[in-house]
Structure 1
Amino acid sequence: MINALNPLYKPPTRHMLSNHFVPAWYNVEKQNVKSALEKASKVAITSDGWTSICQDHYLTVTAHYITEGRMQQNVLVTKAVYRAQTGDVVAEEIGDVLDEYGIREKVSAITVDNAANMDVAVKKLHIIKIGCFAHTLNLAAQTIYTLNSVAKWAAKIREVVVWMKRSSMAKVVLREKQDLLKIDKNSLLLDVKTRWNSLFLMIERFLQQHSALQAASLDPRLRKPMERDRLSKLTNEDYRKAEEFIELMEILYTSTLCASNEKSSTCGQVLPILQKLKNHFTVRDGDSLFVSCLKKTIWTDLSKRYQTDQVRNFLGEATAMDPRFKHTLEEEDAEEDKTVWSRIKEKILAAHDPAETEQLTEPGVFGKEGRKQTDEPRGEESEESEDETVSLQTRKKMKLTPLEKLFAEDDILKLNTIKRVAAAAPAIKIRAEKELEMYKALPPALTSEDPSAWWWRKRDVYPLLSDLALSYLCVQASSTPSERVFSTAGDTISTERSRILPEKADMLIFLFKNC
């Protein structure tokens, strides 16, 4: 075909693609990522580890930042590491990545799983650590496996699911019964302890297909009647527990989906979701023994999370800066709400006071070069006239263009006008207080609202708050961005491509995720 279209064209060889084109493309895109991160005022990162089919251990780092009201994310690296992944080693490896991209001083926080080596690494890096919220919810859900009542009850349902999944004829019969009963043609699911919410999904699918399962178990084409009798051994009490389990655990499943969302999973959601979970898992009168036992077990584990002052304060401020949830702190604890707003005000003053001072001091005009230093008190008029005279003399000594020489006196008047306007402008403290009062008085935004886009639209009304909001909105609630990178890595380093070099794999993953 190629010869017929153009006999002179020679397609690139595998060697040319692998050793020249891909690296050249990678270098260009990497420079583009560096340029984008250089423009970002604040950056949040996630990190995680993964072992490939070749038993090579990989560390990935992703960066998240906001540009013009849009959340941006880039995969910085997915590199093979060959040292024991202790906390010190992981800290060094992540630090090297941050230095390579020049964002070490811009990092607001890092979101990682709850592994001990990550705790040590983050402390070494002196970065605020946000534990992966999705992983935290899964750990809480896994605690119910330790309950004997749940383990025995779930085992009965699991046996039925395993029996149906092992038989090819059972699948055919089940599909026929689904058609007959007009039930969704879904396969049964088997739970895996390490897979998020798998027990909930197994029980939910079992209840959904229960009528089809009963009809299938009576079909004469299915053998092993002793095995299928297990379905009849499930009592009404077991079915009641299944219904109660689904009703109770659905909120935990939904919360995991919220924390794992690819587009809007910011850390400002963590405390509001925890507040909802606390209300849901509070034991109430009328709860059965089964339900109350589940509630106590799950909330006992969740209540231990995010309790350090540094993390709690950061999440409180992130919640306040999220226009969808800013009211939830006041509803939960009025005193904590006041403390959060006070810290936000202090951060605004710390961030803008030095900048404003430098802005109002014109180098060579209103600074040391443009004003004589004297200990004698001076009036406003003499001070202004001296500023003008000295500034004019200073400008005359400077090398000016002909146009600047012609309008030198006019420029001095303009500079003095700028100074008077700046002096008359409200102090940064007053502006911060006014913005905070206006923002707190606004009704909360709908949960469908994108908080980054909301602040971008309001940047002229709340210039101080909108700048500060970037420090929180870019921080991820979970480390699922890194998990998604490893899904891509699994496709890249597959059984058929198991001999691919780790350096080439890093380039391919980088290009796939960033282009």
Structure 2
Amino acid sequence: MSASTTAKCKICDLKVSRGRVKTGSFNTSNLIKPLKSKHVNEHKEFETTKRSQEGPQQQTLVSSLRGKEQWDEKSEAARQMSEKITEMTVLCNLPLSFVESVGFRLFMAHTVPKYKVPSRKYITGTTIPALKNKVTEHVLGKLGEAGAISFSTDLWSSQVSPLSLLSLTAHWVDLETFTPKSIILHANEFKGSHTGEAIAGAIESMLHNWSIPKSKVHAILRDNASNMKKAMMDLGVSSLGCFSHMIQLVVHDGLLSQKNVSDELASGRKIIGHFKHSPLATSRLETVQAGLGRLIKRLIQDVPTRWNSTFYMTASLLEQKSALSLYAADHQLPATLTASDWTLLEKINTILAPFEEITKQISFATSTISEVIPSVVVLKRLLAKQTTEDSGIKTMKATLLAAMGTRFQTVEAEPLYSVATILDPRYKDRYFTSAENRKLARSALTQEVEKNEESSLQITTTDAAEPASKTLRMTAEPNTSSCFKGLYEEFLQEHAAEQGGPSSTVTQVQIETYLAERTIHHVESPFEYWGKNKERFPSLATTAAKFLSAPSTSVDSERLFSTASNILDEKRNRLSGDHVETLIFLKKNLPMYLSLNPKDLNPQED
């Protein structure tokens, strides 16, 4: 029986054709048309039900093409994306050509198809300069808030490009939070001869670029080269030599002073060189280490320009003593170490350990020149102590002590050092080796504080005499493995607080009250102390911010040039000086501009 060719409307009984005669040709369009024209409400209900059952409708060709349209490069979305790519390129030391790499473009096409990745030329000529302008404005704002500013500077020459850079880093203490701040201002290309006159002119130009008058310059930390010393004299600013460099010279003198010591170190270098140049020997040594149940470690070769690398070399040899002895039983080494040789290595390592501890301490970002005098004093006392273990290294030890005395002969008489030391609550005036030096330091402190008292003296004698129990409590335990265990305490006991003459001014009251109080432990932070006591000693706090702004070393410049060597490498040895400086400036200052947590920059340290 064939199906009916008509359908009957259930609402109005209207008969409607179902299409053609054959069943396969029936359609619903004929049924929908009268529903739409005669029964509007029911038709709307029908359409709603139909859409819900069918789900999302397929895009038309026009709508599909519109969805794939890319952002205009001047749009806010495209601009922000380009800026973030620039930040990533700078922070990760990526080559500028990275934005044109196939892998990166495929990744961006998948993740943000509407964004057109810019060319290297656009990043170099547009987004990097725009980002540098933003960071520069931010730096200018920070410098404008700073009081007295200290600087560190150094020269660096690339090994992969005929390019030399002169750096300038600003250091100051924020008076509101009493925290040390540091900003890289320049890593300028330095052309021509590295004379004192040329260096002075370059630094003066740098200061002018940032509108920093010389009157605002507290001190400049430099290396001990004669051209740098002359540059600071020509510039007319106070300067100090890098403490770390001076330690390097002292240890260098000591290591070369005793033939058996230098011979022993030479033997160690030969042994390490044997493994460094022979993969087979290295593999055999690793097998021996594994057989002893030790961690697989490579021996450390020293570098002539870094004395502490000699300490690390002797330490690595001593650590692998058993493995090397077993290796020597079956394989030949270029040098043989006897029992007495190993004993001498241990003594060399022991005598170098205090210098390594001091070097680490002064290399922290929060280290200041206030640590120089105490470090020199405890090192000299340690070297002056004679023990039964000195056999074999007496000449070396005596030379180290003599070199310390020669190179740091006038350190206590230098006001930049002495005033900073007194204003460090860990040391105060307890580490001066003579009453005369202590008196001179107090006098220099009084003169410096009096320069600030007109604007800062707002306290009364009663407030200044507040009990010491309200000062900063000790927050850190002493380092029990320190080479100087007990020496700091010895000096504090020997040089207890001395009362000065009768105090007649508010300034003198502040100084005498401050010096009469107990010192805080030497592992605590002087910045935290002054942050909590700046209301009690306002003039002293302002002076402390000035003198504690100076670092004890030019380590920041060395770290800066480590960044420079990562940017200007063999694959990017044709970068211009301007581009190198811009990338260094952004690499070092962008984290501050973006308010990044230091842990975000070094997540492996967590």
TM-score range, shorter chain: 0.7 to 0.9
Query: Offset of 1:81 from its aligned partner?
Result: 1.4
Counterparts of 2:528 and 2:551 in 1: how far apart (Å)?
A: 16
Q: Aligned residue for 2:117?
A: 11
Is residue 113–residue 479 contact of structure 1 (8 Å, CA) maintained in 2? yes
Counterparts of 2:274 and 2:317 in 1: how far apart (Å)?
A: 13
Q: Aligned residue for 1:86?
A: 195
Q: Aligned residue for 1:503?
A: 578
Q: Aligned residue for 1:130?
A: 240
Equivalent residues in 2 for 1:95-134, closer than 5 Å: 95-103=204-212, 104-134=214-244
Work out whether 1:270 is the aligned partner of 2:372: yes
Q: Aligned residue for 1:61?
A: 168
Query: Offset of 1:471 from its aligned partner?
Result: 1.2
Is residue 130–residue 311 contact of structure 1 (8 Å, CA) maintained in 2? no
Work out whether 1:166 is the aligned partner of 2:269: no
Query: Offset of 1:158 from its aligned partner?
Result: 2.2
Is residue 59–residue 78 contact of structure 1 (8 Å, CA) maintained in 2? yes
Is residue 189–residue 205 contact of structure 1 (8 Å, CA) maintained in 2? yes
Residue 130 of structure 2 is aligned with which of 21, 24, 28?
Answer: 24
Q: Aligned residue for 2:465?
A: none
Counterparts of 1:472 and 1:349 in 2: how far apart (Å)?
A: 14
Q: Aligned residue for 1:284?
A: 386
Residue 206 of structure 1 is aligned with which of 317, 342, 345?
Answer: 317
Counterparts of 2:309 and 2:109 in 1: how far apart (Å)?
A: 54
Q: Aligned residue for 1:408?
A: none
Considering Cα pairs closer than 8 Å and 6+ residues apart, tell me whether 1 or 2 has the greater RCO: 1
Q: Aligned residue for 2:430?
A: 328
Counterparts of 1:312 and 1:276 in 2: how far apart (Å)?
A: 18
Q: Aligned residue for 1:176?
A: 287
Farther-moved stretch of structure 1 (479-488 vs 193-202): 193-202
1:9/1:249 CA distance change after superposition, 3 Å: closer
Equivalent residues in 2 for 1:64-463, closer than 5 Å: 64-67=171-174, 68-103=177-212, 104-143=214-253, 144-219=255-330, 222=331, 225=332, 227=333, 230-231=335-336, 234-261=337-364, 263-282=365-384, 284=386, 286=388, 288-308=390-410, 312-329=414-431, 332-353=433-454, 355=455, 430-463=505-538
* 1:450-491 deviation digits (Å, cap 9, x = unpaired): 212221111111111000001111101000100111000011
Counterparts of 2:328 and 2:530 in 1: how far apart (Å)?
A: 58
Is residue 65–residue 72 contact of structure 1 (8 Å, CA) maintained in 2? yes
1:5/1:283 CA distance change after superposition, 3 Å: closer
Counterparts of 2:286 and 2:109 in 1: how far apart (Å)?
A: 51
Task: List gaps (5 residues or longer) in structure 2.
Answer: 1-105, 458-502, 591-606
Query: Offset of 1:506 from its aligned partner?
Result: 0.7
Query: Offset of 1:121 from its aligned partner?
Result: 0.6
Q: Scaled by the length of structure 2, what TM-score is found?
A: 0.68
Q: Aligned residue for 1:35?
A: 141
Corresponding letter in the other structure for 2:267:
K
RMSD: 2.1
1:34/1:307 CA distance change after superposition, 3 Å: farther
Counterparts of 2:410 and 2:248 in 1: how far apart (Å)?
A: 20
Query: Offset of 1:149 from its aligned partner?
Result: 2.5
| Secondary structure of the structure 2 residue equivalent to 1:190 | coil
Query: Offset of 1:283 from its aligned partner?
Result: 5.8
Task: List gaps (5 residues or longer) in structure 1.
Answer: 358-427
Q: Aligned residue for 1:417?
A: none
Query: Offset of 1:429 from its aligned partner?
Result: 6.0
Determine which structure has more spread, i.e. the larger CA radius of gyration. 2
Query: Offset of 1:447 from its aligned partner?
Result: 2.4
Counterparts of 1:260 and 1:475 in 2: how far apart (Å)?
A: 13
Q: Aligned residue for 1:395?
A: none
Work out whether 1:471 is the aligned partner of 2:546: yes
Counterparts of 1:480 and 1:356 in 2: how far apart (Å)?
A: 33
Farther-moved stretch of structure 1 (45-54 vs 292-301): 292-301
* 1:394-419 deviation digits (Å, cap 9, x = unpaired): xxxxxxxxxxxxxxxxxxxxxxxxxx
Is residue 347–residue 389 contact of structure 2 (8 Å, CA) maintained in 1? no
Counterparts of 1:310 and 1:302 in 2: how far apart (Å)?
A: 13
Is residue 146–residue 173 contact of structure 2 (8 Å, CA) maintained in 1? yes
Is residue 452–residue 542 contact of structure 2 (8 Å, CA) maintained in 1? no
1:5/1:348 CA distance change after superposition, 3 Å: closer
Counterparts of 1:90 and 1:459 in 2: how far apart (Å)?
A: 38
| Secondary structure of the structure 2 residue equivalent to 1:78 | strand
Counterparts of 2:235 and 2:401 in 1: how far apart (Å)?
A: 31
Question: How many residues are aligned here?
Answer: 434
Counterparts of 2:295 and 2:152 in 1: how far apart (Å)?
A: 38
Q: Scaled by the length of structure 1, what TM-score is found?
A: 0.80
Counterparts of 1:311 and 1:115 in 2: how far apart (Å)?
A: 22
Query: Offset of 1:54 from its aligned partner?
Result: 0.8
1:346/1:40 CA distance change after superposition, 3 Å: same
Q: Aligned residue for 1:51?
A: 157
Is residue 200–residue 232 contact of structure 2 (8 Å, CA) maintained in 1? yes
| Secondary structure of the structure 1 residue equivalent to 2:431 | helix
Corresponding letter in the other structure for 2:261:
V
1:7/1:483 CA distance change after superposition, 3 Å: closer
